[in-house]
């Protein structure tokens, strides 16, 4: 009897948020199995194939319902802000002054259950809000600055 094995894109290593293979699953907050993980390879964006499929199906559904998001302007502004860095921090006022519309995102997920805070994805950028209106922006392939 053959059972299909789930494709896993993570290792069993202990989570090290400063390691170059540390990831937050792009499907986080949407019935994700392993929201934070140590990737098997550098291009991993999801913890499992199932999370990848769920995320893709959600994007297709939004598109088919006419809810696709014209986000090119936001992405262009984020690229300029990042200046080829993997991680930057701004205040909410700075983001608003630049004209980045955080309501125009590809995916929203529960970032911190305890605080009830959410994170978003805009293109290749993961954006989370921290205390004191601090906004942290990371690229999909986050590497620490060592």
Q: Cα–chain-centroid distance for residue 11? A: 19
User: Sheet holding 117-122: strands in order across?
Assistant: 87-91, 134-139, 125-129, 117-122, 107-112
Residue 48 pLDDT greater than 90, yes or no: yes
DSSP reduced 3-state for 126: strand
Percentages of the chain per state (helix, strand, coil), in multiples of 5: 25, 25, 50
Residue 11 pLDDT greater than 90, yes or no: yes
Q: Which of 11-25, 105-119, 125-139 has the weakest average pLDDT?
A: 105-119
């Amino acid at each position: 009897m053959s059972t299909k094995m789930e494709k896993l894109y993570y290792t069993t290593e202990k989570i090290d948020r400063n390691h170059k293979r540390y990831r937050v699953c792009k499907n986080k907050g949407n019935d994700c199995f392993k929201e934070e993980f140590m990737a098997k390879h550098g291009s991993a964006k999801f913890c499992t194939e199932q999370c990848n499929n769920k995320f893709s199906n959600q994007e297709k559904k939004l598109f088919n319902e006419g809810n696709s998001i014209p986000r090119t302007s936001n992405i262009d502004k984020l690229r300029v802000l990042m200046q080829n860095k993997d991680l930057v921090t701004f205040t909410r006022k700075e983001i608003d002054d630049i004209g980045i519309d955080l309501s125009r995102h590809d995916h929203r997920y529960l970032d911190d259950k305890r605080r009830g805070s959410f994170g978003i994805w805009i293109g290749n950028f993961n954006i989370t809000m921290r205390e004191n209106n601090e906004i942290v922006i990371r690229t999909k392939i986050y590497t620490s600055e060592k």
